[in-house]
Chains A and B, each alone.
Chain A
């Protein structure tokens, strides 16, 4: 039982990160019906921006750890959000009225471009956030000990998702986003500026991806320029499992994928955990082709 609970928390910690990245896929898909394949690279960009701020500029030394991490979070959100906006302007907006495949190819191109740009800017070596950046505090709970940072990462993920859900459902801008997700043409007729709605979505989604990158850097301590590939693929899977276009779905999908991986590693085989996770994906899609929480028109996005 102790083993099971340990594996459960292992899975939830990984799943929280997947869910956070999956939000970016799902938001963009909800409004634009486009899979933003460059999202994984924006996630990696967040990790590298955080690295520059915390390690190269040594903010923690200048401001103390808490203030430094707070400032880094704000700057990562801002800078990666800006990068997402530029990406939309450069790679997607010119293709708004062309074939959907053109946008997909553009997304793949943007992904390759960003990955190599990161490598050229920061180098090909694995970068380390430094193990002493955060105090190594462990929390004892139900006979187990957990690193505090792991709980914080999970809490941060849940908090961000709740805030995003409230933003979409409680604000006027959120209402406009939902309207654009249902029918862009009708939304335009109702006086909604769909172009700026898309711009907003392309700031929020990448910013959250960047935040996930920063959390991965802080928690695992190691980043590399190709990290966006694996996480991007997993988070994309999570978005599909949950029902792409649906925000609570991204959360459910992410946590579920993390749990399946952890329990698969625990009870079947460590080497087969990824294969197992994708088998689960296929089974879910066979039974529910639109995912666990498919986008219902009224609550789309």
Chain B
């Protein structure tokens, strides 16, 4: 038996080698990095980002890869904190990725930009809406989410259109919420809405009754909250407990179904927010396919829109690799000049010369009495 063993092994090895050479010759795997807050305060967003991208990558690999090369997704956890973003970025750079999807928080993305730029890695942020990011002039930086100034414009216009006269602006001192609050505040100065209160709450706090009592004393007819959903939900709930009926309007970081779970449908009813449309409201065929795939694999739906924008970022990267090969600077050039109205999950995608997404993405939503988010 033993003497037959070696030849069989050699033959098997040779066959394996020949087989793998066949596919390896076509192309080395295309490595795409995902930098996401897999742990930390935004872990649910980060984990959804990874899930969506893994589903999309699986689909591409099942269909034979990009130009015959398999796609490999490298995940790095940024913890949702600027000080761990550098480590995550370096991990991806040394893993040899050609491009990176991510990340969610603006301040975290900001901390990683220069690292990717120096390493010549293309980056597409997915939830980082702070204006500064694309104003910094990095050639290989893009984002599939809109900017705060667009969101601020839409938010301020909607407050006026809904007929409110006295607005209390509340943010949470994160660069996203502060940026959005400043933007809305500047527009209120010109569009006839009076600002009666402007201050920040502490994210992670649970009791906002003291803040709400103070805000109520300023007698606003609308509360504009630019922070994230956990705090928005608590504000709504505690506002209801105070029997204070003034409506609240917020930004896209409150577009999360957990808002209603925490606040309860009764307290959340009547809450407005502006946001890119949720996955369920996206009419594209690709979105329907993703809905089905996510449902089958993880049950339910991604809890917010940001992971879908991560999916869009991943898809345009794959398109760019298909068009010009895995070369970051060529891909960047191609995304800015050649990509026109690509049918993304969240609608048509194109980028301007700064790397910002073109076109208006924001819509107004209202929470109805059953706690559903209804596109207005």
Contacts and interface: CB of A to CB of B under 8 A. Distances in A.
A103 to B, nearest CB: 26
A220 B170 CA distance: 20
B241 interface: yes
A3 interface: yes
A11 interface: yes
Contacts of A263: 210
A230 B207 CA distance: 12
Contact of B199 (A125, A261, A270, A274): A270
Interface string B207-251: 101110111010000000000011001100100111100000000
B213 A6 contact: yes
Interface in A259-287: 261-263, 265-266, 269-271, 273-274
B212 to A, nearest CB: 9
A273 B207 contact: no
Contacts of A125: 43-44, 258, 303
Interface in A1-35: 3, 6-7, 10-11, 13-14
B316 to A, nearest CB: 27
A125 B300 CA distance: 14
A188 interface: no
Contacts of A132: 264
Nearest to A231: B206
A224 B263 contact: no
Contacts, number: 110
A138 B243 CA distance: 9
A126 interface: yes
Given A126-B262, A222-B262, A119 B39 contact: yes
B163 interface: no
Nearest to A116: B39
B293 interface: no
B255 to A, nearest CB: 14
Interface string A247-263: 00000000000000111
A227 B234 CA distance: 14
B115 interface: no
Contact of A271 (B47, B199, B207): B199
A216 to B, nearest CB: 6
Q: Is chain B's binding surface mostly helix, strand, loop or mixed?
A: helix
A292 B367 CA distance: 48
B202 A273 contact: yes
A266 B210 contact: yes
Interface in A121-146: 123-126, 128, 130-132, 136, 138, 145
B69 interface: no
B210 A147 contact: no
A65 interface: no
A128 B211 contact: no
Candidate in B39, B47, B201, B240 with the most chain A CB atoms within 10 angstroms: B39
Interface in B311-344: none
A10 B207 contact: yes
Nearest to B238: A220
Interface string B19-52: 0000000000000000000011101101100000
A135 to B, nearest CB: 12
Contact of A126 (B44, B214, B243): B44
A131 B243 CA distance: 15
A270 B211 contact: yes
Contacts of B71: none
Contact of B207 (A14, A124, A145): A14
B213 A10 contact: yes
A7 B207 CA distance: 12
B200 interface: yes
B173 interface: yes
Contacts of B182: none
Given A145-B243, A220-B234, A265-B214, A130 B261 contact: yes
Contact of B210 (A131, A150, A273): A273
A13 B207 contact: yes
A263 to B, nearest CB: 8
B210 A265 contact: yes
A125 B267 CA distance: 20
A274 B202 contact: yes
A262 B201 CA distance: 12
B62 interface: no
A229 B40 CA distance: 12
A184 interface: no
Contacts of A6: 213
Given A7-B210, A131-B263, A222 B230 contact: yes
B303 A221 contact: no
Given A136-B241, A145-B242, 5 more contacts: A14-B209, A124-B44, A125-B303, A126-B262, A132-B264
27 contacts: A7-B213, A10-B210, A13-B209, A116-B39, A119-B43, A123-B44, A125-B258, A125-B303, A128-B233, A128-B261, A128-B262, A130-B264, A131-B262, A131-B265, A131-B266, A131-B267, A145-B242, A145-B243, A147-B241, A220-B207, A220-B234, A222-B230, A230-B205, A262-B210, A263-B210, A266-B214, A271-B201
Interface of B: 39-41, 43-44, 46-47, 170, 173, 199-202, 204-207, 209-211, 213-215, 217, 229-230, 233-234, 237, 240-243, 258, 261-267, 303
**Smallest CB-CB A-B distances: 10 pairs:** A131-B264, A124-B43, A128-B261, A271-B200, A125-B44, A262-B210, A265-B210, A222-B262, A10-B209, A270-B199
